[in-house]
Amino acid sequence: MNLTIHGSGYVGLVTGACMADAGNHVICVDIDADKIARLQAGDIPIHEPGLEDLVRRNAAAGRLTFTTDIDRGVREGLFQFIAVGTPPDEDGSADLQYVLAVARSIGEHMDDYKVVVDKSTVPVGTALRVRDVVAETLAAREAVIEFDVVSNPEFLKEGAAIGDFLKPDRIIVGTDSERAAQHIKALYKPFSRNHDKLILMDIPSAELTKYAANAMLATKISFMNELSNIADLYGADIEQVRVGIGSDPRIGYEFIYPGIGYGGSCFPKDVTALAHSAGLAGYDAELVRAVERVNTRQKTILGRKIIAHFGGDLAGKTIALWGLAFKPRTDDMREAPSRVLMEQVWAAGGQVRAFDPEAMDETHRIFGDREGLTLCESAVAALQGANALAVVTEWQEFRSPDFASLRQNLAEPTVFDGRNIYDPETMAEQGFTYYSIGRAARGRPS
């Protein structure tokens, strides 16, 4: 089949590469000429395991091309995937200007039937707005051309997006057209050979499903973090609590790990947008709003523990950070807890030495050569001369360090574990003063 993906960011690039890998002919269109030039040269602008190989292999096979020529993209693709960004506006709503601009371009250039697919994460009602914009643009041309608009939200986890697309848990499609439904079924058939994973529903339900899924996962995280703070107050161990409640199959073990809050491009934006959408309909989504408030507060927990440990003043102190990306297996630092922690350290007069396996370039792009920040070439280098270590992102390589070397390289054997990846008793036996989330602080043996 012939597909056009409008937008070559994270979702667009993964979608295009995976669709091409199934044998389809895919054109990725973007207005950013520099990005298109990089992609044509085989330079992938984002870090996602497996994506670079997938893009290069399918580009070499002629199934995946990149262009700024939107006229070509619209003319050649039966499916017109809209996969552009929907950044949060000042009021928390999703900014749909890029989505509607693509819809307008499709209406300007189409000359036969198209299936317009909303892949971007958008609020309920967006498909109707896209349909209206395409129809109005066609009317301005005095063109009578049939088209359908469907909602097909993505459920891609950063760091595991290729597997999520190629072997999906579910494929959600919202449509009110049997013609479009048949096209979509044929398109996604290679991705549901084991059993039918396609779930057809009405368009508003599909749009809400995406927000509902992310808000539910974010709620589990914030609820667990709320419990961790209560555990801190009563001397309970939140990790034991986690095992206790996770053993209930109605709850399960997924997404109940305490920590220092969620980040990234999806959860913060989508939770806020869902609450805003509810407000537009006259409903106060109190629980949804509370999820984001708890998360915002949780991002400050580790910084407050560090500042309290050093008596409220970090002047002359250096904190080593292990992890900068908002989660492992990505270089994404949008809404990352590390950014909040670094600002806290600097505000208290301290210095930061930081390392992340993938996010060093992104950190430099954001902060430049900021005074008080030293970006290090390795985890060990970040420890040199530091008064304490803060574990911010649970990268696999941080889970089993050489504790003797760790203690030797730190000026003071103090560790602040924002992801609870170390055992408190082991840390005490190794001679560390150890702070974690929802577990009593452990001092060095006397």
Nearest Cα to 118, choosing from 70, 166, 35, 175? 175
Burial class (CB in 10 A: 0-12, 13-18, 19+), 286: exposed
Tokens representing 21? Answer: 């890998």
Q: Compute the residue count for the chain.
A: 446
Phi and psi at 127, nearest 5°, equal -60, -40
Q: How far apart are CA 96 and CA 354, in angstroms?
A: 36
Q: How far apart are CA 114 and CA 25, in angstroms?
A: 15
Residues contacting 10, CB < 8 A, separation 6+: 46, 48, 156, 158, 161, 265
Which amino acid, 320? A
Phi and psi at 32, nearest 5°, equal -85, 100
28 is catalytic: no
Q: Is the dihedral of CA 29, 35, 38, 42 positive or negative?
A: negative
- DSSP letter string, 215-229: HHHHHHHHHHHHHHH
Reported as half-sphere exposure (CB side, CA atoms, 13 A), residue 388 has a value of 26
Can you tell me which residue has the tokens 């409640």? 245
Of 18, 28, 266, 376, the active-site residue reads 266
Q: How far apart are CA 109 and CA 31, in angstroms?
A: 15
Q: How far apart are CA 266 and CA 53, in angstroms?
A: 25
CA dihedral angle for residue 299, residue 427, residue 400, residue 361, rounded to 10 degrees: 30
Query: Which DSSP category does 443 fall into?
Result: P
Q: How far apart are CA 74 and CA 357, in angstroms?
A: 39
**Residues with a known catalytic role:** 266
